[in-house]
Amino acid sequence: MPYSKITKKGQMTIPVEYRRKYELKEGVLVAFDETDKGLVIKAIPDIADSAGVLSEYAELDEVLADLMKARKENFR
């Protein structure tokens, strides 16, 4: 079982085989989910990657602006 050590700053390295398998490249955002079995790390999909699929429905700038507005309203 691969392992990683936590640094003083709370950082750790994800083993390369998992980074490759789950496409965890530099800049990818991850979320932490606490379960009964422990901590689960999940990659958060980038909405811009879906822009091609959504392009027939709206302009990317409009979609992103709406998302940012909704986030601000939800985190007040």
Distance CA 13, CA 3 (A): 9
pLDDT at 61: 79
pLDDT at 54: 58
Comparing CA positions, the residue from 43, 42, 47 lying closest to residue 68 is 47
pTM exceeds 0.75, yes or no: no
Q: Write out the CATH class of domain 1-44.
A: mainly beta
pLDDT in tens, the chain (76 residues): 889 999 999 999 999 999 999 999 998 989 999 999 999 999 887 766 655 665 666 677 787 888 888 888 877 6
Instruction: Enumerate the domain spans of the chain.
Output: 1-44, 47-76
